[in-house]
Structure 1
Amino acid sequence: MHQLTYGDIKAATDRIAGRVRPVTLAPVDPGAIRTAHRDPLDDREPEPCEVWLALEFMQHTGTFKARGAQNFIQAHRDAATLPDAGVTIASGGNAGLACAWAAQQQDVRATVFLPTTAPAVKLAKLRGYGADVRLVGAEYAEALAACEDFASATGALASHAYDHPLIAAGAGTLLEEIHQQIPGLDTLVVAVGGGGLFAGMATAAQHHGIRTVAVEPENCRALNSAIEAGRLVDVTVDSIAADSLGARRTSQMALHAAQQDGVHSVLVSDSEIVRARKALWDHRRIAVEHGASTALAALTSPDQHVPGRDLPSRPTAASRSYRPGNGEKIAVVLCGSNTDVRTLVDHSSES
């Protein structure tokens, strides 16, 4: 298995330059995020933490996944390994949309397999990107099997939602952009599903000496379970954020990245995810999906916490929140916005 390197991230950065939207950063109001309790022996002047929101939900197709999809297709085009049959993917979610968009940008055929239960709005978006949409079976596994059969029969290039080095490297380009805009960045806070975004960003962050906080819903914790077991394991998926973070198993790339220095695992409850999402809407009129607000929930959760500066260098048991240290500079990735905004206006639907 190819282990992701910083060289992969740099190559992806150069490859997709000008093909994706640069990330916009917005500062959080001073004092809005509580810091860790100060050590009484710490004689440094108190400094508020500095928190920035990385508004990656403004990316093409509404999520960071456009980066990986663009890198995947461009790399194969550069290597002259794009087949006439084009690319194919099984995904009724953000990865499918990103693959179809990137294929359209490169004038490449895209065949996307979805279960018959896929929402009509996503079908319309996929077709709007010019994809050949195939509805197969009632569950994702059936659509995936059909996608694999199609790739074998036609020679189409099979993409993946997260478990591919080109996909993860493309996602890692987001950290490069954030690092350029925030000199002295200390900490990256990012939600984890399958682990493509995490693997890419954590690999780049480690190169720059930046801590990574990996945030998962407490009942949707493929990466945290793998960290504890020391190997990939299947987990039960049961979270309000499962539509985007609901991977049953993380990738080997993500586990490898999580086992490096400076990575910390945080689990948050669904109620805190909902609360963070509502706060973004109430205070900023930012509408994100639950997967995106999962990252912010690590900073706003009132549960037990570990002081930011005193965390162990390697992840062990997850904490329930993350408290920044004195003067810490933090970037929180808001990774996607493919959501029903009516659930933000009508709070009763999530109570």
Structure 2
Amino acid sequence: MTSRPDIEAAAARITPHVRRTPILELPADALGTPCAVALKLEQLQVSGSFKARGAFNALLGSGAREVIAASGGNHGAAVAHAAAALGIRAEIYVPAISAASKVARIREAGAVVVQGGATYAEAFAASEARRAETGAASVHAYDQPEVLAGQGTVAREFEADAPGLTHVLVAVGGGGLIGGMAAWFAGGPIQLVAVEPEGCPTFHEALRAGEPVDAPVGGLAADSLGARRVGGLMFGIARDVVREAVLVEDEAILEAQRRLWSAARLVAEPGGATALAALLSGAWVPPPGARVGVLVCGGNCQPGSVVG
């Protein structure tokens, strides 16, 4: 199971290749939130999302000459970026729901792009069949120890750079991010709050069932948060650490995107704005005295879709 030492080792490994993304402190009246907020701006990460952390941690030292991965977009862009930086050939399988801008970013990084079905689950199955043929390395989008440890470095930085946090809101798709962050925060004072779109209630359904189960995939943020089920590795960690899991409507996500732009000129994709949507919409209400952090986890979208 992923642990703090694993995350420390990952941080040392990936530091030359990723950015220590900034914290933006905003008072309550700036965004219209019920309390001040510390935003960690992972949309400024290389490749446009936190996913670069896990991709580099999985590929560094792997000895791989070729990697095959499946992705709704952000993971593929991260693997393509990391592979190019390390001189590894990358082949990325994407589903039909992937945003054109994200597919373009994968290609721009030099990877071969293959459409592998209508959903992420189908793209993953196609990528695994291809990998079995070629013997290439694999970097799973969210259910691989090295990926969880790499994503956990977000929590390590957040805790260090925004002292005194009591709660951190994190969007959930397949769960690699919140699983890695839960491994870092386990046993400490910071409480993680999971946030999902109503159209992709993957973690919510897993908590209700007591294990990962299939859930619907749809809505505004499906290209980044639309896993069919959460990973088993993350669930084994997060179910004992994450105390609250909330769902938000697509309109709340759109409003969070608009607020980030109007208040701070920050462009976030729908999945990147989902955690903030919980705070703005009242889906999650901070307790008195809370010091709240929100992870803006990705920005791979056309700016005009937010600011136009």
TM-score (normalizing by structure 2): 0.92
Measured against aligned partners, the alpha-carbon deviations of 1:179-218 in whole angstroms (never above 9, x if no partner) come to 1112222111100011011101121122432100001112
> Is it true that 1:344 corresponds to 2:306 in the alignment?
yes
Partner of residue 54, structure 1? 40
Amino acid at match of 1:63: S
Partner of residue 223, structure 2? 243
| Matches for 1:152-301 after TM superposition, within 5 Å | 152-261=132-241, 263-301=243-281
The 4+ residue runs of structure 1 with deviation greater than 6 A are none
- C-alpha displacement at 1:336, in angstroms? 0.4
Tell me how far apart the structure 2 counterparts of residues 116 and 269 of structure 1 sit (CA, whole Å).
Answer: 23
Amino acid at match of 2:259: A
- C-alpha displacement at 1:133, in angstroms? 2.8
Tell me how far apart the structure 2 counterparts of residues 122 and 239 of structure 1 sit (CA, whole Å).
Answer: 17
Amino acid at match of 1:4: T
> Is it true that 1:106 corresponds to 2:68 in the alignment?
no
| Matches for 1:285-324 after TM superposition, within 5 Å | 285-302=265-282, 321-324=283-286
> Which blocks of at least 5 consecutive residues in structure 2 are unaligned?
none
Amino acid at match of 1:340: Q
- C-alpha displacement at 1:121, in angstroms? 4.0
Partner of residue 306, structure 1? none
Amino acid at match of 2:303: V
Partner of residue 309, structure 1? none
Amino acid at match of 1:154: T
Measured against aligned partners, the alpha-carbon deviations of 1:105-151 in whole angstroms (never above 9, x if no partner) come to 11112122235775554444223222233345555455433322221
> Is it true that 1:328 corresponds to 2:290 in the alignment?
yes
Tell me how far apart the structure 1 counterparts of residues 42 and 210 of structure 2 sit (CA, whole Å).
Answer: 31
Identity %: 42
| Matches for 1:10-29 after TM superposition, within 5 Å | 10-29=8-27
Amino acid at match of 1:269: E
Task: Please say if residues 258 and 307 of structure 2, whose CA atoms lie closer than 8 Å, have aligned partners that are also in contact.
Answer: no
Question: 91, 100, 106: which one pairs with 2:71?
Answer: 91
Aligned residues: 307
Tell me how far apart the structure 1 counterparts of residues 109 and 202 of structure 2 sit (CA, whole Å).
Answer: 31
Tell me how far apart the structure 1 counterparts of residues 22 and 219 of structure 2 sit (CA, whole Å).
Answer: 28
- C-alpha displacement at 1:262, in angstroms? 5.3
- C-alpha displacement at 1:12, in angstroms? 0.9
- C-alpha displacement at 1:246, in angstroms? 0.9
Looking at CA atoms only, which structure, 1 or 2, has the larger radius of gyration?
A: 1
**Secondary structure, counterpart of 2:76 in structure 1:** helix
- C-alpha displacement at 1:4, in angstroms? 2.1
Measured against aligned partners, the alpha-carbon deviations of 1:68-96 in whole angstroms (never above 9, x if no partner) come to 0000001xx1xxx4244x11112251111
Partner of residue 68, structure 1? 54
Amino acid at match of 1:64: F
**Secondary structure, counterpart of 2:151 in structure 1:** helix
TM-score (normalizing by structure 1): 0.81
Q: CA RMSD in A?
A: 2.1
**Secondary structure, counterpart of 1:327 in structure 2:** coil
Partner of residue 82, structure 1? 63
Task: Please say if residues 18 and 45 of structure 2, whose CA atoms lie closer than 8 Å, have aligned partners that are also in contact.
Answer: yes
Amino acid at match of 1:25: I
Task: Please say if residues 23 and 178 of structure 1, whose CA atoms lie closer than 8 Å, have aligned partners that are also in contact.
Answer: no
